[in-house]
Amino acid sequence: MSRIAVVGVGRVGGAVAYALMLSSMAKELLLIDIDVELREAQLRDLADVGYACNSRTRVRGASYRDAAQCDIIVFTAETMVTRGQTTLDFTYRNISILREVLDATTPFKPDAILLIACSPVDLLTTLAQRLSKLPASQVIGTGTFLDSVRLRGMISDQIGVAAKSIDIHVLGVQGESQTVAWSAATIGGMPIDKCISPEVLKRNELVRESTEHSLGVARTRGTFPMGTGSVVASLCSSILLDKRNVRPVSHWEPDTGCCFSTPVIIGRKGVVGTILFPLSEAEEFDVRQAVEELKITVDRVDGIN
Residues that constitute the known binding site? 8-13, 33, 94
DSSP letter assigned to residue 247: E
Interatomic CA distance for residues 121 and 2, integer angstroms: 25
Within 10 angstroms of residue 199's Cβ, the number of other Cβ atoms is: 6
Q: Name the 3-class secondary structure at 117.
A: coil
Task: Tell me the H-state helices in 143-223.
Answer: 145-159, 192-195, 203-221
Asked if residue 191 has a cis previous peptide bond (ω within 30° of 0), the answer is no
87-125: burial string, b at 16+ Cβ within 10 Å, e else: eeebbeebbebbeebbeebeebeeebbbbbbbbbbbbbb
